[in-house]
């Protein structure tokens, strides 16, 4: 059992990168776990912006207790019931997703390298460093198309929470990464997959 941590700002391509790595090592040997599933069902009121919007880019927006327990359970070879989060309603769904331990767990999210106890369970840690204008454009298209947001709300959220939280909390995670990935993720995914295959053969 190996757990690979993939961190990076919103819109940096973490999920896409994880899928590229999975394609190289095979879906039967790997499972993707998204940190987005571990948003709190009700965010603390002190995280609200001046206009009353949720701050999804603050560490306190996540259920760290459950996340720590689930990552530790997977590391020990135990099944978990991963929560499912609906960004259109900003709440968890009643259903959960059963995740069985696979040989490789690809754990991706904006704060996968933030918590020390979780970092200690990761076998490889990587950070996706993508320029802010590219991340913003990707986020804009995703939130409008997939999450039912308006153009104005996405722009407002970016300047109120996304940008300042990235500078304060997300970018510093680079110091914990074993390596940093740029915009060319195809080559990086091939290299990471090769290293994972080496681990499996050791």
Residue 104: its H or E element: strand 104-108
Query: pTM of this prediction?
Result: 0.86
d(C-alpha 103, C-alpha 75), whole Å: 10
Region 48-57 average pLDDT: 80
Does residue 51 carry a pLDDT above 90? no
Which structure tokens are listed for 148? 């039912």
Region 14-36 average pLDDT: 93
**pLDDT value of residue 7:** 96
Q: Where are the alpha helices (DSSP H) in the chain?
A: 14-25, 64-75, 116-119, 132-146, 151-157, 163-165, 185-201
CATH architecture of 2-201: 3-Layer(aba) Sandwich (3.40)
Share of the chain residues as helix, strand and coil, in percent rounded to the nearest 5: 50, 20, 30
d(C-alpha 51, C-alpha 35), whole Å: 26
Q: Greater confidence, 153 or 72?
A: 72
* % the chain with pLDDT above 70: 100
Does residue 53 carry a pLDDT above 90? no
d(C-alpha 101, C-alpha 78), whole Å: 6
d(C-alpha 35, C-alpha 69), whole Å: 13
Spatial neighbors of 40 by CB under 8 A, at least 6 apart, are: 61, 62, 63
**pLDDT value of residue 133:** 72
Q: Where are the alpha helices (DSSP H) in 60-131?
A: 64-75, 116-119
């Amino acid at each position: 059992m190996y757990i690979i941590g993939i961190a990076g700002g919103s819109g940096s391509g973490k999920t896409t990168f994880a899928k590229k790595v999975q394609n190289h090592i095979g879906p039967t040997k790997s499972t993707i776990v998204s940190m987005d599933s571990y948003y709190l069902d009700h965010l603390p009121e002190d995280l609200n912006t001046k206009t009353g919007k949720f701050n999804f880019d603050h560490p306190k927006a996540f259920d760290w207790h459950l996340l720590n327990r689930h990552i530790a359970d997977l590391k020990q070879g135990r099944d978990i019931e991963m929560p499912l989060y609906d960004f259109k309603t900003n709440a968890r769904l009643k259903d959960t997703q059963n995740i069985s331990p696979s040989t490789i767990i690809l754990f991706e999210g904006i704060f996968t390298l933030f918590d020390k106890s979780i970092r200690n369970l990761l076998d490889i840690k990587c950070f996706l460093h993508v320029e802010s204008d590219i991340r913003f454009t990707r986020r804009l298209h995703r939130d409008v198309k997939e999450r039912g947001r308006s153009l104005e709300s996405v722009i407002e959220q970016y300047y109120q929470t996304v940008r300042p939280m990235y500078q304060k909390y997300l970018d510093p995670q680079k110091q914990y990464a074993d390596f940093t990935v740029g915009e060319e993720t195809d080559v990086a995914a091939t290299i990471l997959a090769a290293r994972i295959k080496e681990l499996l053969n050791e």
